[in-house]
Amino acid sequence: MLEIKFAPKKGIWADEPETLEKLRKNFFGSPVSNKKQTLEIEEALYLIGFQNAVCRDSKGKVVGFNKLASFFVEKEHRLFVKYNAYRDWRDRGLIVKRVGTVKTRKAKGKSMKRYPMRPFRVEEQKAKAVWYHDSLFSVLDKKSVGKLFFEDFWLGQLGVYKQDRGELLKLDSLETVFVAKHFGIKVLDAASGKKLKPEQILKQLVEKREYAKQLYEVYEDWMLRGYVVKTGFKFGSHFRIYFPGSSPVKQGKWVHSRHVLHVFPKEQKLLISEWSRAVRVAHGVKKTFILSIPEMRKKDYVEYPADFVAYRRKKVGRDWIRESLDDKPRYLLVPVAEDEHIGGVELASLLKKAQDMGLELLLSITDRETAITYYVLKRVVLPGSKYEYYEIEWMKP
């Protein structure tokens, strides 16, 4: 039986020889001396709950799980959520430690993924589109230009979606701004007949749709690097992304996107369960989920708590063995609960912290049944872009 001790002013520790040997063998606690090992609260709770440890106070009385936790609940914000994340990782036979208790060595580029780029070919076109501002669509009726836009750039929808009928090109709001700005298309207001500048159309969008400016900036960023950007409505995201060279007509059959992109403005806060749902929908249809947090400035980053660094397994010969404290940790593990909110600023700050530490960011989400879901985030490098993007993948340790 493991024996640990607790005193309000001293914390939690072990000094019984047999207990010390077992704790050190399994990487619990931090050594104070050869005869004493201190423990973090989540380690002690795990030992009590799952390793048959007994905790006693200075008078020898047993201190149970809830009584011990109650001494720490005020200073350890979201204690049970953190404990549950720790418990799940340990249950898998893996090591997890508090940030700052082990050294991290930065490994450049390990948590980044580089995407290809094809410069966007812009040729001014002489045509006009009529803008229906209440519907946020425009219609271009010059057949030759409409065919060019749709077949060469996959801009707009020619005729009826996935049907070979109709010759009018319908452009959504973002596409309308884009063709006016980059192809010189004349856009006329349907009600007044007046010509609208791209910035005037965008201003109308901003008045009608929250974060329209950020959506357009991200849309334009990918388009100018040769990607095809279409609505991601069916997949619970803002956009679906096709790699450079994709076309609705040149493949001989309908081509499917492999990526969806969601814009997460820095001022916005999302319920963790809603954010997770969008990622799961993408993965359910075998698409990579990309997150954009636009307009982050140096002054925007905040100190958001990240509690743990986590290790995984490595292959030695033909066997997989768990990594130890002699290895470099892989993840900055952040415990959250499904009913919490997280904002763009907070998430961007965590991503930056993980990057600065040379780790990948791993969110550990506790649901209402205390089951854990993991998502790992990697930075996407889009050549020439001033924005930052991140791939989010479901991960099973």
pLDDT band, very low/low/confident/very high, at 106 (cuts 50, 70, 90):
low
More confident residue, 373 or 119: 373
Examine the pLDDT at 14 and tell me if it is beyond 70. Answer: yes
Annotate 198-218 with b (16+ C-beta within 10 A) or e (fewer): bebbbebbeeeeebbbbbbbb
In DSSP terms, which residues pair with 55 in a beta bridge?
Answer: 4
Name all domains of the chain by residue range, CATH numbers in brackets: 3-76 (3.40.1170.20), 77-117+225-397 (3.40.1350.10), 120-219 (3.40.1170.20)
Q: Flag whether pLDDT at 250 surpasses 70.
A: no
Contact 362/374 with Cβ under 8 angstroms? Answer: yes
Give the count of alpha carbons within 13 A of 306, CB side only: 27
Res. 255: pLDDT tops 70:
no
Average pLDDT over residues 7-12: 95
Report whether pLDDT(316) > 60.
yes
Mean pLDDT of 297-314: 90
The strand pair at 259-263 and 288-292 is best described as parallel
Give the global pTM: 0.86
Which burial class, exposed, middle or buried, applies to 79 when counting CB atoms under 10 A from its CB (0-12, 13-18, 19+)? middle
List, edge to edge, every strand of the sheet that includes 36-39. 30-33, 36-39, 11-14, 3-7, 54-56
pLDDT tens digits for range 197-232: 999 999 999 999 989 999 999 999 999 999 999 999
pLDDT at 32: 92
Tell me how far apart the alpha carbons of residues 198 and 285 are, in angstroms, rounded to a whole number: 35
- Interior angle at CA 161, CA 160 and CA 163, nearest 5: 65
- Please check the confidence at residue 253 and state whether its pLDDT lies above 60: no
Question: Distance between CA 163 and CA 165 in Å, rounded?
Answer: 6
Confidence band of 104 (pLDDT split at 50, 70, 90): confident
What interhelical angle do 212-223 and 173-182 show, nearest 10?
A: 60
User: Which has the minimum average pLDDT: 152-156, 283-287, 322-326?
Assistant: 283-287
- Nearest Cα residue to 237 out of 389, 396, 395: 389
Q: 3-class DSSP state for residue 253?
A: coil
With beta carbons less than 8 A apart as the criterion, state whether 85 and 364 touch. Answer: yes
- For residue 272, pLDDT over 60 is answered with yes
Q: Name the region of 284 (left: φ>0; alpha: ψ -120 to 50; beta: rest).
A: alpha
Give pLDDT, residue 210: 87
- Cα torsion angle, 145, 147, 153, 156, sign: positive
Integer Cα distance of 145 and 131 in angstroms: 17
What are the residues facing 364 on neighbouring strands? 335, 374
Assign 396 a pLDDT band (cuts: 50, 70, 90): confident
**Predicted confidence (pLDDT) at residue 307 exceeds the cutoff of 70:** yes
Type of residue numbered 6: F
- What average pLDDT is seen over the chain? 91
